[in-house]
Structure 1
Amino acid sequence: MVGGTGGGGPAPLLSVAGLTVEFRLRDAPVRAVTDLDLTVRPGELLAVVGESGCGKSVLAHALLGLLPGNAVVTGRALLDQPDAAPVDLLGCGERHLATRVRGRRVGLVPQSPATALNPVRTGRRLLAETLRAHGHHRARAGAEAERLAADVGLDPADLDRYPYELSGGMAQRLVTALALAPDPALLIADEPTSGLDRPLVDHTLDLLRRRCEAGGAVVLITHDLAAARRVADTVAVMYASRLVEVRPADRFFGAPGHPYGAALLDALPDRAFRAVPGHPPMLTALPAGCAFAPRCPRATDACADQPAPAAYGAGTVRCHHPLPIGGTP
């Protein structure tokens, strides 16, 4: 199974099995996520990486029931609950998601903060309303709002601005503070460092890392491999709607198993600084076999068939011709 690295440790906080998302369009269906299996444990920071358009954000929105009406979602996503049986996020219904999951058990840092913020509320009011909705006394909500602002690197004075008065980086930090306010067990952070300069990128990543050290879990969706390398415990590589590699972060960055993972690492400035050749396939016309084959130097006729995920060291790789374990990328 393509998923967590297995072994010991705490029971999974989130277990995803067979997640598939297809958008029904007039011309052709769009297969955005295909047969995805994944686990996230308390204390774990899982980084989902890959080129734009591979399905990373759709994965996040599917787990929280935030997809449009033309999305067809199948599979299972069990979320652990205190003092209750796990709930299937894909089948529990909107009412349960809205009242028990979103912004409570699971927080989301959205990829586009400008569209996620109420334009007629200042940042201070947005934070105070969120805190009060989750049990904070009105008299203490203001002080807690300023503490959250400081945690994410936002000047407390900027809380009195409206969203249209904030820079992209300020808005990004505000939505991060809003997602953290209820102290969710699982935080899904979709490109949370977008629009930030390097010191604030590192500040935000360290904040996410500290949540895991305190027992929370984080799914970091990012195209920034340097960010993933800084804080991730586990790396999940996504390509053309599928997970193709899930490995412990140190092993992935030391020696990836899938040729696509190796190509992503080769694109880093401190490595070969060489772009991945070619282009990903259209999600309306995914091939029956390995979608990376047209771009892969290791491809053979066997790649005309879809490879199954297979154990690879301490993780899994979906490839007919994985790189040697421990070999040079």
Structure 2
Amino acid sequence: MRGGRHIAAVTDASFDLAPGECLALVGESGCGKSVLASALLGLLPGNARTAGAAVLTGTPADGSPRPGAAGSAPLPGIDLLTATERELARSVRGRRVGLVPQSPAAHLTPVRTVRAQLEETVRELTDVPRHELRSAAEGAAERAAFPADHLDRYPHQLSGGLAQRAATALALVGEAPLLIADEPTTGLDRDLVDRTVDELRRHADDGRALLMITHDLAAAERIADRVAVMYAGRIVELADAAEFFGTPGPRHPYARGLLDALPERAFAPIPGLPPELGALPDGCAFAARCPHATAACATVPEPVDGVACHHVPTDAQAHAQEPADA
């Protein structure tokens, strides 16, 4: 709620995410991606309201990513949207769901060094012996490409990129069965982007689930198994990553526009701006920016085969016939 008005920041978002899989959630800034992540972890403002379900299925009590591991009794499934703050704080955040936050500086304790925060996190989330905390913390930092000679610095002494890497190191410590990475490559140069997403990919390859929220389509292409495209609070396309970035390519006009805007592709930005979430138009929210809009777009399209668009067949066929250098 804002100014006495109800604003639907995310509507009808539906997807699943399996162990060992990476789902990239992409879209322009302000489309609701980070709101979705905050909802899953119970981090929305007090006046926010959620509906529906976000079920985290049972996971082994020993932290192993694979249910049924020897010597581990599965933890019960939990609906993240109805869980109490006590449940989320004590048994979910960090343990069953890790988070690389969008604003890492706000999540780092300002009066403690990075080393101290890593050691504390290792102590809380793992069974590493006390005398091995230092080396475990340094190992976590190395995984996130955080330089060892900066471990004894305080958050205010870090650049934005270093704060991002510190937050990534903290998120990886617990080996949570589900990791939510919200813009994990912000402030990093290309080499560090690749190193960071490769480490996140390894997290998934070890049998854990990864939800990566990003506007960096190159990073998404590098590690994602599937891609969900969000526009104005709705998921408008859900597709296999290989098909999305390759052939046949995106099917929703907005998703195609995102790829066409890349310098290595058509370098043609989508005209206009996204609507404000508090002033969404009737019907398809993308219609005002879409070259294929018709009178049918006055109603909200229902997803069909993962795409919410009234003109998917026509547009997909036309796009497939475009010249390769179009």
In the superposition, the TM-score normalised over structure 2's length comes to 0.90
For these two proteins, the number of residue pairs brought into alignment is 302
Q: How does 1:181-200 map to 2 (within 5 A)?
A: 181-200=173-192
In the alignment, which residue of structure 2 is the partner of 1:265? 259
Aligned-pair identity in percent equals: 57
In the alignment, which residue of structure 2 is the partner of 1:146? 138
CA distance in 2, matches of 1:85, 1:304: 44
CA distance in 1, matches of 2:144, 2:191: 12
Query: Alpha-carbon deviations, 1:282-319, whole Å to 9, x = none?
Result: 111112210000100111100000110101xxxx1000
User: Which amino acid in 2 is paired with 1:91?
Assistant: T
Q: What is the aligned counterpart of 1:208 among 178, 197, 200?
A: 200
1:59 is paired with a residue whose SS is helix
Q: How does 1:212-223 map to 2 (within 5 A)?
A: 212-223=204-215
Query: Alpha-carbon deviations, 1:119-168, whole Å to 9, x = none?
Result: 11100000000111123221111101111111111111211000111111
2:14 is paired with a residue whose SS is strand
Matched, 1:93 2:87: no
Matched, 1:281 2:271: no
Query: Alpha-carbon deviations, 1:196-248, whole Å to 9, x = none?
Result: 11110000010011111111111110001111111110000000000000000
2:54 is paired with a residue whose SS is strand
- Deviation of 1:256 after TM superposition, in Å, equals 0.5
Matched, 1:157 2:149: yes
Matched, 1:173 2:161: no
User: Which amino acid in 1 is paired with 2:117?
Assistant: L
In the alignment, which residue of structure 1 is the partner of 2:32? 55
Q: How does 1:79-118 map to 2 (within 5 A)?
A: 79-82=56-59, 83-118=74-109
- Deviation of 1:27 after TM superposition, in Å, equals 4.7
In the alignment, which residue of structure 2 is the partner of 1:253? 245
Matched, 1:35 2:27: no
- RMSD between aligned residues: 1.2
Change (3 A) 1:264 1:27: same
Query: Alpha-carbon deviations, 1:17-73, whole Å to 9, x = none?
Result: xxxxxxx12253221100111100011110000000000000000000000011011
Matched, 1:290 2:284: yes
In the alignment, which residue of structure 2 is the partner of 1:121? 112
Q: What is the aligned counterpart of 1:133 among 124, 134, 141?
A: 124
- Deviation of 1:92 after TM superposition, in Å, equals 1.6
1:310 is paired with a residue whose SS is coil
CA distance in 2, matches of 1:175, 1:328: 45
Q: Which runs of 5+ in 2 are unaligned?
A: 60-73
2:52 is paired with a residue whose SS is strand
Matched, 1:318 2:308: yes
In the alignment, which residue of structure 2 is the partner of 1:6? none
CA distance in 2, matches of 1:158, 1:145: 12
In the alignment, which residue of structure 1 is the partner of 2:65? none
In the alignment, which residue of structure 1 is the partner of 2:320? 327
Structure that is richer in strand per residue: 1
Moved over 3 A (4+): none
User: Which amino acid in 2 is paired with 1:40?
Assistant: L
2:39 is paired with a residue whose SS is helix
- Deviation of 1:84 after TM superposition, in Å, equals 3.9
- Deviation of 1:88 after TM superposition, in Å, equals 0.5
CA distance in 2, matches of 1:55, 1:204: 24
CA distance in 1, matches of 2:179, 2:3: 34
Q: Which runs of 5+ in 1 are unaligned?
A: 1-23
- Deviation of 1:328 after TM superposition, in Å, equals 5.3
CA distance in 2, matches of 1:328, 1:43: 35
Query: Alpha-carbon deviations, 1:75-121, whole Å to 9, x = none?
Result: 10000122244210001211111111101000000011111100111
- Deviation of 1:327 after TM superposition, in Å, equals 2.1
Change (3 A) 1:129 1:85: closer
CA distance in 2, matches of 1:126, 1:120: 10
